[in-house]
């Protein structure tokens, strides 16, 4: 049975679309979601498009997320972007610890922990990504890897600042591969994440936090995944780049 957690469907546009293309897609989504929906909806454009997308979505209720951030507010950090700059550009959310940041760019748990603390400190809503690689799953290490990443990210934090946290479980082997964890697989890991939060903090926090599934989510599999009791939404990659494929996923969420 579903709880009263509001579903959340977020589109991660990754390294795609110019300013004009980003604004055009934002306008299509705004028009397509003109009527009230149960689900909260967000998009994460490239950093250069954050401002134009936030302007295009003004008044729509669709939230804007950055795809990454640094933990320092300012300084000699060439190529980085900070929480205050994201807020200034119109972002309210930020994706942290995405599998591509971890496994392509070598981000480590300690840096992700510092980013999470900085995001919370500035009032950004963090979408914390955790997930195992194929070798981990085949070796029976899914639980250890996923909960280890979660533990490392929240280490030293109290329950109160974590009230806005969103977690996204994204099995790395299912991202951009066309393979998808079965709804039962997703539910099992989501339930383990919720149980760990209850152990580390308290049951009330664990029951209130939303846990999204990310990994080749598309219109054809969204409804079955989102029907699971601990799957509170989706972090959508490729299917979020077109309104015609993203909007049906939102519809599936309610």
List 70, 107, 170, 190, catalytic entry: 170
Q: Which residues of 117-146 are buried (b: 16+ CB within 10 A; e: fewer)?
A: bbbbeeebbbbbbbbbbeebbeeeebeebb
Q: Which residues of 160-196 are buried (b: 16+ CB within 10 A; e: fewer)?
A: eebebbbbbbbbbbbbeeeebbebebbbbbbebbbeb
* Contact between 146 and 130 (Cβ < 8 Å): yes
138 is catalytic: no
| Spatial distance between the Cα atoms of 115 and 149, rounded to a whole number of angstroms | 14
Nearest CA-CA partner of 253 in 51, 42, 21, 27: 42
List 40, 70, 93, 98, catalytic entry: 98
| Spatial distance between the Cα atoms of 128 and 139, rounded to a whole number of angstroms | 24
HSE-up (13 A, CA, CB side) for residue 71: 14
Instruction: Dig out the tokens for 174 from the structure.
Output: 């299912």
* Collapsed DSSP state (helix, strand, coil) of residue 129: strand
170 is catalytic: yes
| Residue pointed to by tokens 């699971």 | 228
| Residues that are catalytic | 98, 170
């Amino acid at each position: 049975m579903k709880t009263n957690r509001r579903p959340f469907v977020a589109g991660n546009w990754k390294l795609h679309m110019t300013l004009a293309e980003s604004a055009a897609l934002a306008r299509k989504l705004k028009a397509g979601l003109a009527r009230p929906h149960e689900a909260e909806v967000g998009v994460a454009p490239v950093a250069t498009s954050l401002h134009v997308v936030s302007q295009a979505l003004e008044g729509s209720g669709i939230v804007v997320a950055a795809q990454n951030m640094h933990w320092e507010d300012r300084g000699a950090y060439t190529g980085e972007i900070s929480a205050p700059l994201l807020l200034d550009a119109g972002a309210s959310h930020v994706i942290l610890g995405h599998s591509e940041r971890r496994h392509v760019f070598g981000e480590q748990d300690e840096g992700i922990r510092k980013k999470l603390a900085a995001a919370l400190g500035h009032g950004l809503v963090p979408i914390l990504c955790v997930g195992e690689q194929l070798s981990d799953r085949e070796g029976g290490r899914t639980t250890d890897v996923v909960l280890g990443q979660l533990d490392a990210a929240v280490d030293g934090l109290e329950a109160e600042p974590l009230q806005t946290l969103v977690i996204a479980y994204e099995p790395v082997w299912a991202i951009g591969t066309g393979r998808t964890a079965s709804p039962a697989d997703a539910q099992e890991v989501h339930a383990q994440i919720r149980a760990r939060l209850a152990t580390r903090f308290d049951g009330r926090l664990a029951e209130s936090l939303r846990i999204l599934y990310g990994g080749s989510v598309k219109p054809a599999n969204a409804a079955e995944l989102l029907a699971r009791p601990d799957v509170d939404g989706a972090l959508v990659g490729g299917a979020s780049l077109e309104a015609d494929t993203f909007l049906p996923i939102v519809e599936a969420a309610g």
